Amino acid sequence: MDRLSDIAIFIRVLDIGSISAAARSLGLSSAVARKRLISLEKHIEVSLLHRTTRRISDA
């Protein structure tokens, strides 16, 4: 996986405020975007986003 692309997904999520909307804007499925964000978090060993069922905020 390309870490720069994963970071780009993360930045788009922050800009838009939604994983699914960010994924759509990048031509990805929500599931792929979520998996890549989780992979990025595991790689750097830091939680980047605080997720709830209703909102996302940076950690």
How high is the pLDDT of residue 7? 96
How high is the pLDDT of residue 15? 95
Q: Is 35 left (phi over 0), alpha (psi -120 to 50) or beta?
A: alpha
How high is the pLDDT of residue 51? 74
pTM for this one? 0.82
Q: Residue 9 in contact with residue 33, Cβ under 8 Å?
A: yes
Can you name the residues that pair with 56 across neighbouring β-strands? Answer: 51
Q: How much is the average pLDDT of 9-29? A: 95
Q: What rounded mean pLDDT belongs to the chain?
A: 89
More confident residue, 55 or 5: 5
For residue range 35-56, list pLDDT tens digits in order.
999 999 999 999 998 777 666 6
